[in-house]
Amino acid sequence: MTSPKPLVAGNWKMNGLLANVSQMTELNQLISDGGANCDVLLCPSTTLISSLLEAGAGGKVMVGGQDCHANVSGAHTGDISAEMLKDLGCSYVIVGHSERRADHGETSADVNAKAAAAQTQGLKAIICCGESDEERSSGKTLDVVLEQVKASIPQDAKNSNTVIAYEPVWAIGTGKVPTANDVEEVHAAIRTLLIQRFGEEGALIGILYGGSVKASNASELMGVQNVNGALVGGASLKAADFYGIIEAYK
């Protein structure tokens, strides 16, 4: 059985102006000079998607959205549909990031509907899950994460339309990172669930780790069994920092 191709994905969150588009050019240059043994993705704010695509044309770095609405179109002021992201040239969209779950009250059922909408449009959905600090300290990590994955993942998930991102909420933007053993335990449990539910295809769905990944810890984290790449926030904003993570796959 082959394993999923690694993916290193950057989530710029609500950061970046037109002046930052040069990071795409720089990143593609670093990759063409030094190589990258993984897929590479940047998910900027919607305002920068077209500019990044233009700056990255012909290069290796793909572009994705940070969220999408579950509906194709309609009266949803301020929202963006999966079809719109596809229309711009995106190949991925992040759904169910813990900041969306916390700031916008998104439930796993909402995330499931968003992921299904993305898949219908031919986008790959990066479905996020992860426990809070309190849930980890009270021994509920696996229950919480598996429940989120079960409820957030659409029926016909497969390698070509789905990636899971395990992101402990307490590790996001804090500089705190779980031990390799803790990451391995959660990824193994997610892998088991995916195989139980989707058979052999479940072994091929990528599972990313996210939460304070940087160049100095990427090799260790990316070396953990069933870790098929990273979802990176802060360290994806500067091409040189992000490339330092991509280099874990050289």
Q: Note the residues at the interface with ligand PEP (CB under 6 A).
A: 11, 167, 172-173, 210-213, 231-235
Q: Which is nearer to ligand PEP, 187 or 202 (CB)?
A: 187
Give least dist CB 130 to ligand PEP, A: 9
Burial 17-26 (b: 16+ CB within 10 A, else e): eeebbebbee
Contacts of 76 by beta carbon, 8 Å cutoff, 6+ apart: 69
Examine the residue annotation and report whether 167 is marked as an active-site residue of this protein.
yes
Q: CA-CA distance, 81 to 15, in Å (whole number)?
A: 21
Give the SS3 label for residue 212.
Answer: coil
Q: Which is nearer to ligand PEP, 111 or 232 (CB)?
A: 232
Measured from each CB, the residue nearest to ligand PEP is 233
Examine the residue annotation and report whether 104 is marked as an active-site residue of this protein.
no
Q: CA-CA distance, 211 to 232, in Å (whole number)?
A: 7
Q: Which is nearer to ligand PEP, 110 or 167 (CB)?
A: 167
Q: Which of 69, 83, 97, 187 is catalytic?
A: 97
Q: Which of 99, 106, 131, 167 is catalytic?
A: 167
Give least dist CB 97 to ligand PEP, A: 6
Give least dist CB 41 to ligand PEP, A: 12
Q: CA-CA distance, 29 to 114, in Å (whole number)?
A: 34
The helix (run of H) or strand (run of E) holding residue 8 is strand 7-11
Q: Which is nearer to ligand PEP, 9 or 198 (CB)?
A: 9
Give least dist CB 234 to ligand PEP, A: 4
The helix (run of H) or strand (run of E) holding residue 207 is strand 206-210
CB 166 within 8 Å of CB 228: no
Catalytic residue numbers, as ranges: 97, 167
